Structures are given as structure tokens and as C-alpha cells.
Amino acid sequence: MALLQISEPGQSAAPHQHHLAAGIDLGTTNSLIATVRSGVAETLADHQGTHILPSVVRYRIAGEPPIVGTAALAASIEDPLNTLASVKRIIGKSAEELSSIPGQYPYQFAESDSAVPKIETIAGAVTPIEVSAEILSVLQQRAVESMGGELEGVVVTVPAYFDDAQRQATKDAAKLAGLHVLRLLNEPTAAAVAYGLDSQPEGIHAIYDFGGGTFDISILRLTKGVFEVLSTGGDAVLGGDDMDHQLAQWMGQQMGIDQPLEENPSQLKYLLSEARRAKEQLSTAAEISLHLKFGAFDWQGLFSLQQLNQLIEPVVQRTLRIVRRALRDANIEKDEVSEVVLVGGSTRVPLVAQQVEAFFGRAPLQGIDPERVVAVGAAIQADILVGNKKDGELLLLDVTPLSLGLEIMGGMSEVVIPRNTTIPVARAQDFTTFKDGQTAMSLHVLQGEREMVEDNRSLARFELRGIPPMVAGAARIRVTFQVDADGLLSVSAREEVSGVQAEIEVRPSYGLSDGEVEGMLKDSYRFAESDRDARMLREQQVEASRTIEAMEAALDKDGEELLNAAELGKLMQMIEELREMRSSEDSRAIEKKIEQVNSESEFYAARRMDQSVQQALSGKSVEEISP
């Protein structure tokens, strides 16, 4: 009789089968793809041996496929309106938001019926998701050719401060490219994995990620091989591009260009290209010679590292302000940080490394190419998730960047998941009805740190219907918030007695506007005291409305039966006084008036209780009511 085979522990029936997976750094300026081969994570090159793929797509006439990468970048000056770069800065944002940000986007936006912006090209209007998908498709094809087979899954990195809409848009782009996303991974966390900080002694690490279009800071704690993100901070529209724009403006002034650079897209792209070239040269030189010529404008002269530092220092200081806030959020002092890791091409600029070292008081880690480190870390995580390293699994715990909650009566925000909560996470909270006989509930999902709804960001709205009619406050509706490992949110509501439920997957069509995340956090500190006072006032106003409604309902039912004219008149007068007091701005005065109404109506409540007891006992014998 043949023996039945049993596989090795933790292995498949083909124990040495290697699953094909990759990590992708979808960057603002450049993108890369990496994989783990023979236990080593490495980035993959194209046919020319180039690892970095410029995140640039040039569209051509209908029927001709777009050009992606280096060739597209070379055409950006001669064909600026059809050559799209830095789309990561606008992915997940609305057309309305982009229209309010002058000068940063040299595109022609098309009219759109939806909130998703579309960019006009010779091949037709395209969305940032479609542009990103073109870049991802080229990376996927590079991996298939290098690895000799189709990918089973990928880990795609995103800035730690990408909001829900931006993360979802990134996943949509990967899906459009035909990729199976195993997970979205925060870029700073990927960098920590690449440096092998998980194998070091326990400690706290700061990951300073300054890319072409985004900045992120993550404070990580390593405990027994588990990365926990203590806090994150960042700006989705702050990066090396901002340095380039500062330098391009200076170049334009030297050339004698008077009109705004944005009015001439070819001119702007020429100057941005020259600015990047100068910035890169000054990473290894103290002074360079510039010769700028565009049309009738011609200028040449010397440009020093000191001049560059003066132009870009405000940009670097913006990053350090975000770092300070992230440390404060993590309740960590600078000297408690064990290692500082520099990530992103913008950290090649000497001033960046100098200021980070001065801030933390220690030299940062720079051993791995800062432009490759994120893709390498993503590849290591993809190798684990696809099943190649089951016994050595690395656990990564990210956090929610902003608080999530619901609107409650009075226009107030009730937090269900506080910001910097480790994800994935599920939190439930019970809510109830406001009015007698209420059979439906409107649920408004919010994101932000302020007490009042109007000061936070609206994520989604949905309704729960079919609630059994009950007296106000009797229903129990359990609302559950779930944030998955990619930072995507779903909300469900269930009435506990009847079992009716409703749910929504929060997929907003646009993200936060420029500086909104930073502004929301700053406002939460600046207005903390006034927000508290406003919430106290609104809570008392809601309680006053509840008291008025309950009293009026009771009096309509049996007031004339249980009260004489004087008693009824007194209670009605008190209700009117409370109604007038409700509109005041004095929360303590409203609270006192509510207490007075409750105190002076106790006799009426007692009579109602006696009447209810008598009605319940009417017609029953002593034996029937005896225990």
C-alpha cells in the first residue's frame, strides 16, 4: 500500500514552491518595484538596467498607447499639456479643491460631472487614478519579465498621512492595472522594515520620509519584533517639488520673466527641470554654473549651495514643525529616539540631513539608497504576506491619522475611534433615539478633532430604517466602526431588538485639501477651550429640548386629568421659560433651569407613576399580584 504524503510544518504540499510577490513604491517623482529573491530584497531594473521609473505619463493621439517613464519625462517641455507628472499630489482630491490651489498644477482640467478631477489630454480626459494605473502597469510588466511569471500579489506603499479617499484611489489604480493588492503599507513603516530595525533591540525609531511630493514622519516603537506606530504626521502636498518651485521662481526672476510662470506651461516645466538639475548637482558641490535660456530670456551665472539653502530652508522648517507635533502626540522626547531613518529623494539635499541631525542631536541612518528603501521594505512585507516566510512573520501595526466618529443631536461630534488608534481596529458604541416613536436614524460619519460637526470633515451619510417605535431613549442602536489594515473605513448600525441593520463602506471621491490635516490638528489645540464651552452649551440646549418635548408629551396625554388649573398653568409657564432660556449662551443658566423644571414637576411625575400602578393592578386579585 502506498504511503500518504504529509507536508513540512507550515508549508504547502509543494514545500519549496516560491510565490511571486513584489513591493511597489508609487512615488510622486519616481516609482520602483522590488522583490525578494534568494532571501534578498532588491529593486528590479528595466531592459536598460535602470531601476527608477519616473512617475510621468505622456498621452498621444487616440489609438496610440501612452509613453511612461524616462521618455515621457524627456518630452515634458515640448509637450507639457499631454505629459502628466506628480499626479500623486492630486490623487483622491476633488476638482473643487484643486481649483482653490493656484499655481501648483500645470494641467488643463476638464469639466466633470463627478467630484473626481479629469485632466485634458490629446487622447481624451483622464483621471489621476488612470494615470497612476499606467505607471503601475509598466512596473508590473517589468516584474513579470524579470521574475518569469505573473505576480500573485503586491504591497503598495502610501504616505502615512494619506486619508481614506487617497488610499482608496491608490487601490483603485492598482486594480485598474490588474494587480492584486495584499496590503497598503505606510512608507515610513516600509523604510523601518528595509533597515532591519525589527531585528534590533527594542527601541523607538523616527522615520523621516521626505519625497518629491509628500512628507511623512512616523514614530515607531519596536517591542519583541512588533512595530507599533505611536504617532504619524505629514503633509500630502509638501515635498521636493516645493523646493523646485522655490528655485524655479528665483530662476525666473534672474531671467527677467515678469509674468507668472504658470501662464506658460512649457516655460514652467523648463525651469522646474533646471531647478531639479541644479538641486541635484549641489548635493555634491559647493557652487555650480547656470545657463538658463528659454525663448528670448537668457541668463547665466554662478549659483551656490548657500543660496540654495536660503531658498529652501522654509520648506525644511515646515517638515520639522510636523516632526515636533508627532513627538508630542506620541508623548516622546527627542532624546528617547534610538534611530532616525532618512527616506525619500529629497533627503539627498545636504540641508535636510543637517537640520534633521541638529534637531534630534544624532546622525540619521542613510545606508540604503533613500529612493529605493521604501520599495525594498514593501517587498519584504509582500514576501511575508504571500506566504513565503510564515515562520518569520513580521507584525506591523499602523494607526488612524485622525479621529473618526458620528454626529449626535445638537450638531456635536462623538468620537468612536480616537486618532492614533492602532489599526486594524473595530470599535462599537451604543446610541439611542431622540423622539418617541422614532423609526429611522440618520447617521453622519465624521473625521476630525473638533467638538462641533461644522468644524470636522464629513465622510459619509447613511440611514437605518425599520426601528420599532419606542419611547425616546429606549432603543439601542449599536454602531460599529471598522478600519482595516489599509486604513479603509466601514460603518454599520444595528438595532438590537429587531435586528434591522444598515452599513456603508466609506469611499469618498476626494481627499483633504492642502494643509487641511495640519490645520485640523492645529485648530483642535487652538480652540480646545472654546470647543469645550461650545459643547457644554450645546449639550444643555439638547437636554432642554428633550425635557420640553417629554413634558409637553406627558401634559398632552394626561395633564388635565391629573393636575388642577393652577398646577397645569405653572408647569406650562416653566416650559415656556425653559424654551426661552434654551436660546441663551449661558450653559450653566440652562442647566439650572432644567434642574428647576425637573424638581418642581416631581409631584406630577409621582401622580403619573401612581396612576400607572393602579391601572396595572386594576381587576387583579391579591393572589395574582403576590410573589
Cβ partners under 8 Å of residue 296, min gap 6? none
Rounded to a whole number, what is the largest CA-CA distance in the chain? 109
What are residue 119's DSSP bridge partners? 109, 126
Q: How many alpha carbons lie under 13 Å from residue 235 in its C-beta half-sphere?
A: 24
Tell me how far apart the alpha carbons of residues 548 and 569 are, in angstroms, rounded to a whole number.
15
Cβ atoms of 351 and 316 closer than 8 Å: yes
**Nearest residue to 580 via CA among 567, 597, 600, 563:** 597
**What type of residue is 411?**
G
Question: Which candidate in 79, 88, 118, 486 is catalytic?
Answer: 88
CA distances from 266 to 106, 241, 299 (A): 9, 17, 17
Cα 198 to Cα 209: distance, rounded to the nearest angstrom: 18
**371 has catalytic annotation:** no
Question: Is 79 a known active-site residue?
Answer: no
75 in Cβ contact with 67 (< 8 Å): yes
Sign of CA dihedral 355, 356, 357, 359: positive
Residue 262 cell numbers, joined: 504658470
In terms of Cβ atoms closer than 10 Å to its own Cβ (0-12, 13-18, 19+), residue 554 is middle
Cα of 176 vs its chain's centroid, Å: 21
Residues 500-536 as b/e (b if ≥16 CB within 10 A, e otherwise) read: bebebebbbebbbbbebbbebbebbeebeeebeebbe
The verdict on whether 25 is a catalytic residue reads: yes
Catalytically annotated residue among 164, 172, 187, 371: 187
| 224 labelled catalytic | no
Its sign, for the CA torsion 91, 93, 98, 103, is: negative
| C-alpha dihedral sign at 449, 455, 461, 467 | positive
Cell numbers linked to 417: 475611534
Amino acid at 204: I
Which residues are CB-neighbours of 456 under 8 A, at least 6 positions away?
A: 413, 446, 447, 448, 449, 450, 520
The closest alpha carbon to 237, from 94, 101, 115, belongs to: 101
Whole-angstrom Cα distance, residue 377 to residue 423?
19
Kindly name the residue from 97, 209, 407, 518 that is annotated as catalytic: 209
Annotated catalytic residues are: 25, 88, 187, 209
